[in-house]
Structure 1
């Protein structure tokens, strides 16, 4: 019997629908990567890679992995028009399957509307339903907007930092808060 239940993969909030990615989302996800800050680790390279087809393959692989580990990134769509505006969900990332990371990314035109906070709250609620009691987030020190979202939904600085003089230090946030002195 699995230790945790799978993350629910169809979530709704007042303004958003969140659903599993489909291969058809590959064009939108590639556009999202094109908008990334130059300091981001994964970006479209000078040869134009990853391509839409490579994103399609990545999505198919992630869906297969999600079926095995119960974690998933969900496409975020606005209810009023069905527009794909980004993604939010849980990944192993730099952490573990037992205490995964929350991850989210929205198109720049969707910033400033509270969508990342709304989607993150829905994912946190779904994460609790899996039986998990602690989640992580790693955020580059320069990404102030992401820190604001995480703080709004209850994440706190864990005190752990992975130094990176090129791309910016990675700060580990945790939810719920760790006891004092625990890293």
Structure 2
């Protein structure tokens, strides 16, 4: 499930940001996100030894996978018009049916400027207006910055955890809207 209807373009605006569908030409930003990921992130979510996913593969994903137009929206700074990451809702299959997961990831160079909190707040407002009653978010126990963002936007950690001895424990968070 993606949030929204394929073919319908979701655009959210804050004072500093525009959240909108990805453009194929922005695949290098996605590639940069992949290359910056913490080494504790599982290998299937990082660039592999053969350089995959490539920019061309990410371009194809933007063209063909609805999640990049209706779920995980590009986060663009309005003043500089540059894309700095993504934020949105997806069905990860980990939460109850009809309760999507909030997901966000920003380029390291823009961390600690409040963009993740601002983007997440816009997505939460949109989710509430769209009739969702509760959202989920998962985060690695070692990812203190993302845990702080989730707390700032009103998520609370649940008792549910998925322990992975190699990559860390995934914590499940929820928020009523």
Question: Normalising to structure 1: TM-score of the pair?
Answer: 0.87
CA RMSD of aligned residues (A): 2.0
Report whether the alignment pairs 1:74 with 2:73: yes
Q: CA separation in 1, counterparts of 2:108 and 2:145? A: 11
Report whether the alignment pairs 1:57 with 2:76: no
Q: How does 1:83-162 map to 2 (within 5 A)?
A: 83-93=82-92, 94-95=94-95, 98-162=98-162
**Structure 2 residue aligned with 1:37:** 38
Q: CA separation in 2, counterparts of 1:96 and 1:32? A: 28
Question: Normalising to structure 2: TM-score of the pair?
Answer: 0.89
Q: CA separation in 1, counterparts of 2:97 and 2:160? A: 19
Contact 2:9 2:20 in 1 (8 A): no
Q: CA separation in 2, counterparts of 1:5 and 1:111? A: 28
Gaps of 5+ in 1: 178-183
Contact 1:156 1:176 in 2 (8 A): no
**Structure 2 residue aligned with 1:21:** 22
Q: CA deviation at 1:8?
A: 6.6
SS in 2 for 1:40: coil
